[in-house]
Structure 1
Amino acid sequence: MAGASVKVAVRVRPFNSREIGKESKCIIQMSGNTTTILNPKQPKENKSFNFDFSYWSHTTVRPDGFGKQGQVKR
């Protein structure tokens, strides 16, 4: 498939009721198209990944926006 390209998106979803009930903490951070998974036990072992699109849809509101389902469907 010469000339084909794939675009990859990631979205942080809101916590479900089980996660809320367990008082889970969000361990994902997003900055632009970079998504970082935080390791609370080993902070030096955080993992970062780059995506074509990154959407923040977690329950905590961010100043740079909120990824609504309509945006994700593009």
Structure 2
Amino acid sequence: MASASVKVAVRVRPFNSREMGKESKCIIQMSGNTTTIINPKQPKESKSFNFDYSYWSHTTVRAAPAS
């Protein structure tokens, strides 16, 4: 049996019109292939994940994770 491998990609999409109308804030940050989700209620609580590929398509500036 041949071995198989799976590559995983993540993309941060731009806000849609509803999100822009609500003046939503982007809670995702990317640095290389690491994607961090910031808890807006407790910013020091964040979750980070590593992916094979990370694509930033959001309209805001891409930010490095908070330390």
Q: TM exceeds 0.5? A: yes
1:34-73, Cα deviation, whole Å (9 max, x unpaired): 00000111123200000000000001244xxxxxxxxxxx
Gaps of 5+ in 2: 63-67
Match of 1:6 in 2: 6
Higher relative contact order (CA 8 A, sep 6+): 2
- Change in CA separation of 1:2 and 1:44 when aligned onto 2, cut-off 3 Å: farther
Counterpart CA distance in 2 for 1:29 and 1:40 is 12
TM-score, normalising length: structure 1: 0.77
Tell me the CA shift for residue 2 of structure 1: 4.5
**How many equivalent residue pairs?**
62
Q: Equivalent pairs: percent with the same residue?
A: 92
Regions of 4+ moved over 2 Å: none
Measured against aligned partners, the alpha-carbon deviations of 1:3-34 in whole angstroms (never above 9, x if no partner) come to 10000000000000000000000000000000
TM-score w.r.t. the length of structure 2 is: 0.85
Determine the C-alpha separation between the residues in 2 that align with 1:39 and 1:8.
Answer: 23
Q: SS at 2:26's partner residue?
A: coil
**Which structure shows the higher helix fraction?**
1
Distance 1:16 1:30 in 2: 20
More strand per residue: 2
